[in-house]
Amino acid sequence: MLKKGKATVVRNAGSHYMLSELPQWNFFPAVLRGKVRLEGSTATNPVAVGDRVSYSLDGEASELNPAVITEIEPRRNYVIRRSTNLSRQSHIIGANLDLAVIVVSLYFPQIRLQFLDRLLVTCEVYNVPALIVLNKMDLYRNEVPEEVESFHRIYGSAGYRIIETSARTGEGVDELREACKDRICLFSGESGSGKSSLIKALDPSLDPKVGKISDVHLQGKHTTSRYEMYPLQGGGFVIDSPGLRGFGLVDVGKSEIALYFPEMLKASRGCRFTPCTHTHEPGCAVKEAVDNGQISAERYNSYLGMLEEDKKFR
């Protein structure tokens, strides 16, 4: 008997998927057949974790008899980045998200603010609320307190919420668990930042892959190789994603970039000229705000970098 229904993609492993009729956790295998594509999309993955899809199934689902995805519903939001080796193509990290949890660490691996800012801009562009998690606090809180304070100054003044955590000691885990409760949350960040360890700390029954940091270069290794959603015992779902080593902006024109820096957008209302690139124009309220410390020089420098061809941080 042919069954039809709607479900959410909870795992993406190449051309094979797992679906579940959320909020119930009853996943089953599925494949994408025919010419199901998103109109106008250049993404390398036509179906992403978090997508809502229609499916058909003849009999009971199994690896030998998977459901067939017949339609992808329009996404209410998503996080997307330029594909590493295919500059004209892109890759969708997660779709239909209630929150993007961006996990960073000041050290081990050392943070790259340009990377973080590109990810934050993408969240702003595609209407995904963002939360910054400053992880591995047990390693450097007492060693570089001034750098921790500086990080809060830069991103707190930009309007972002920051939670300090340590998967090892449990610091901040309860606060993060509450932030994720009853939501679909994407965990993303650079390789080695501790995303999978934090997910396991949120719910010890889960078993996402956890990697180690290279002692030679103090950089993260890719341990999560696929995108996968997990249910949290306390409510909600988290998407674990492969660690990123670069992040290219997609479909954001140079004249639009400043609109997605909340602190720059607010200050730009006082600019003498409209439009204003905030680089050379006289009477620029954004440059004035940078000069007097209302906008951090670090964020402004990230903005200037985004105005250039984004080859370096791709």
Q: Which CATH number is associated with domain 79-240?
A: 3.40.50.300
**What are 141-186's pLDDT values in tens digits?**
888 999 999 999 999 999 999 999 999 999 999 999 999 999 999 9
Would you state the pLDDT for residue 210?
45
Q: Which sign does the torsion angle of CA 9, 222, 186, 238 carry?
A: positive
Q: Name the class of domain 2-72.
A: mainly beta
pLDDT for residue 220 is more than 50: no
CA atoms within 13 A on the CB side of 298: 17
**Tokens of residue 132, six digits:** 């910054």
Rounded to an integer, what is the distance from CA 133 to the centroid of its chain? Answer: 12
Q: What is the CATH number of domain 257-307?
A: 1.10.40.50
Q: What is the amino acid identity at position 8?
A: T
Query: Which amino acid does the sequence have at 37?
Result: R
As a whole number, mean pLDDT of residues 47-64 equals 93
> Cα Rg for the chain, rounded, in angstroms?
21
Max CA distance (Å), the chain: 71
Decide if 229 contacts 10 (C-beta within 8 A): yes
Is the distance from CB of 213 to CB of 108 less than 8 angstroms?
yes
Domain spans of the chain, in order of start = 2-72, 79-240, 257-307
pTM above 0.85, yes or no: yes
> pLDDT tens across 98-113, in order?
999 999 999 988 899 9
pLDDT tens digits along 239-273: 998 877 667 788 888 889 999 999 999 999 999 99
Alpha helices in the chain (DSSP H): 113-125, 137-140, 145-156, 173-180, 195-202, 262-267, 285-291, 297-307
